[in-house]
Structure 1
Amino acid sequence: MAALSSAGQAVERDVPFQLRGNSFTMMVLKVSDPTSPDFFPQLNVKVRQAPNFFRNAPVVVDFDELPEDAGFDVAAFLQQVRAHHLLPMGFQGGPRPVQEAALAAGLTPMPAGRAAKLEQAKGPDPRAAGSAPAIAVPPPEPVLRPALLVTEPVRSGQQIYAEKTDLVITASVSPGAEVLADGNIHIYGALRGRALAGVSGETGARIFCQSLDAEVVSVAGLYRVSEDIGEDIRKKPVQIFLRDGFLHMAPL
C-alpha cells in the first residue's frame, strides 16, 4: 500500500495544475441607469475616495433593475467601467439582450444573491391559487460555529476571513490590512484597515471596534470609506450596522 501511495503522490506532483474550489469576496456594481450622464462622474468620485481599495478591484455588474426595453452598448459600458480602474468579472440579472451582450463581452453569469435565493425558495403563495395554506415548517436549528479568534495584530497586507462565523480580534488592525466575516466583527483595538462584515449577505451583521479610523467599512456590501467617517466618531468606540437599507455608525 505504501508503494501505491507513493506512486499516486508522484503522479500528482507531475500534473502541471490543480483544480480546487474556493470562495472570494467581490463588490457588486448595481446598475439602475447606465445611460445617465451622471453615472461615470459619480463613479469616478467614489473610486477617487479610496483609490487603493478600488484600483483593479474585481466587481460583479448587477443588471437586475434594468427594464426589459433597456437599450445601451453593454461592451462600451463595461469598457468605461474598466477605465475607472474596476475589473468587471461577472454579471447578474438583466434583460436577455443585456445578458447575451455581457456574455459576448467575456463576463461570467453569477448566481443570484442570498436574498433572491430565499425568495425563490419560498415559491408561489398558495393563497393566490385558492389552495389550502401551507403548513409552516420550522427552520432547522442553526449549526453553531465558534467565532474565529485572533489575538495578534493584523499587519498591513494580511487578510483574515471568518467563514460562516464571527470574527473576534483582541488587537488592532493596521492600515492596508483586511478583515472579513460572514457574521459580526469585534475589534478590541484600533481599526485602521478595512473591515467587511456580513460578506455573504447577512444584513443583520455588525462591526464593533474600540477606535474607528478605518480605510473602508462594509456590512452586507454597503460600504463607507475613510472620507465619509465623521470626526465626531473617528478614533472612538463605534458600532456599524444596517438600518432601512443604509449604513449607520453609532457610538458605543
Structure 2
Amino acid sequence: MSQAPIELKGSSFTLSVVHLHHPEPETVRKALQDKVDQAPAFLKNAPVVLNVSTLDGDVNWQQMQQAIASTGLHIVGISGCKDDRLKRLIGRAGLPLLSEGKQQKKQEAAPIEEVKTVPAPSEATKTRLISTPVRSGQQIYAKNSDLIVTSSVSAGAELIADGNIHIYGTMRGRALAGASGDRQCQIFCSSLSAELVSIAGEYWIMDQIPADFFGKASRLCLQDGVLTIQKLY
C-alpha cells in the first residue's frame, strides 16, 4: 500500500511569548529591537507568540503587526485576546487566535517583556558567576563573557551568554551560548533536562535531545556546523 501524501501528528515546540503592555507600535518596536540586539543569534528571525491580554480594540493592529515584523520576528499566533473588536482585526490579518489550556501555560516560555534581567558584566569581565537558583521567568545575559551557574535553573528561566555556559545544578530552562555568533562556544550541564539548548543559533528543543543524555551530565558543541552532544564524564 502506498504511503499517504500527508500525515497529521501532534507535537510541542518551545516558543518565546511576547506580552504586549503598550498600545503604541513604535514603543513596542524599540523594546523588541533592544531584545533582538542583545541575542541576535537566537532571536533574529525567531517565531513568537504575541499575548495581547492587556490590549484592547483601540490599538492600530496593522501598524503593530508591521512594527513587530520589522524587528525580524515572525508572528505565528496570538494568545490572550479578550476584546471582540481586536479579535476581528487579528482575524482580518490572517493570524490564528490560540487558546491557552492549563498545561499550555505551564509550558510557555518566559515572556520577553517581563523577565528579570541580571545586569550584564563589564567588557573586562571574562566570566559571570551566578551562585543562586535561577527562577522561572528570570533571564540572565552574560555579555562578552562565559556564564557559570552553580545552582539549578528552573523551567521557564533563560540563560544567554556570548561565551560558554556551565550549569552545575539541574538545567530545566533554556541555555543559549554563543549568542553573538561565536560557533566555538559550548554548553556544559551536570544534569541536562533543558527546554531548549542553542549554540550560535543552532538549537534543539527538549524533544530533540537524545534520550540517552536526558538528565545526564552532558557537553554540547558544534561540529561541522551541527549541534552535537557528548557525555561530560
With the length of structure 1 as denominator, give the TM-score of the two structures. 0.49
Structure 2 vs 1, CA of residues 189 and 147 (structure 1 numbering), >3 Å: closer, same or farther? same
CA contact (8 A) 2:126 2:144 kept: no
> 2:224 maps to what in 1?
244
| Aligned-residue CA RMSD (Å) | 3.2
SS at match of 2:211: coil
Question: Which of 13, 22, 30 is 1:50 aligned to?
Answer: 13
Q: Does 2:108 match 1:108?
A: no
Q: Does 2:183 match 1:220?
A: no
Deviation of the 1:49 alpha carbon: 2.6
Structure 2 residue identity aligned to 1:50: F
Q: Does 2:126 match 1:163?
A: no
* 2: CA distance, partners of 1:86 / 1:222: 23
1:1-252 map, 5 Å? 49-51=12-14, 53-56=15-18, 60-61=44-45, 85=49, 105-106=66-67, 107-108=69-70, 144-252=124-232
Deviation of the 1:54 alpha carbon: 3.7
Structure 1 residue identity aligned to 2:173: G
* 2: CA distance, partners of 1:49 / 1:171: 27
Q: Deviations over 1:144-179 (max 9, x none)?
A: 523110111111111111110000111111111111
CA contact (8 A) 2:151 2:170 kept: yes
Gaps in structure 1 of 5+ consecutive residues: 1-37, 63-80, 88-104, 111-142
Structure with more relative contact order (C-alpha pairs < 8 Å, separation 6 or more): 2
Structure 1 residue identity aligned to 2:150: T
SS at match of 1:239: strand
Q: Which has the higher helix share?
A: 1
* 2: CA distance, partners of 1:153 / 1:238: 20
Larger radius of gyration: 1
Structure 2 vs 1, CA of residues 61 and 153 (structure 1 numbering), >3 Å: closer, same or farther? closer
CA contact (8 A) 1:49 1:225 kept: no
Deviation of the 1:246 alpha carbon: 1.0
Q: Deviations over 1:162-200 (max 9, x none)?
A: 110000111111111111100000111111111100111
Structure 2 vs 1, CA of residues 109 and 238 (structure 1 numbering), >3 Å: closer, same or farther? closer
* 1: CA distance, partners of 2:133 / 2:71: 38
CA contact (8 A) 2:172 2:192 kept: yes
Q: Deviations over 1:95-150 (max 9, x none)?
A: xxxxxxxxxx554377xxxxxxxxxxxxxxxxxxxxxxxxxxxxxxxx75231101
* Identical counterparts, % of pairs: 42
* 2: CA distance, partners of 1:224 / 1:86: 22
With the length of structure 2 as denominator, give the TM-score of the two structures. 0.53
> 2:85 maps to what in 1?
none
SS at match of 1:49: coil
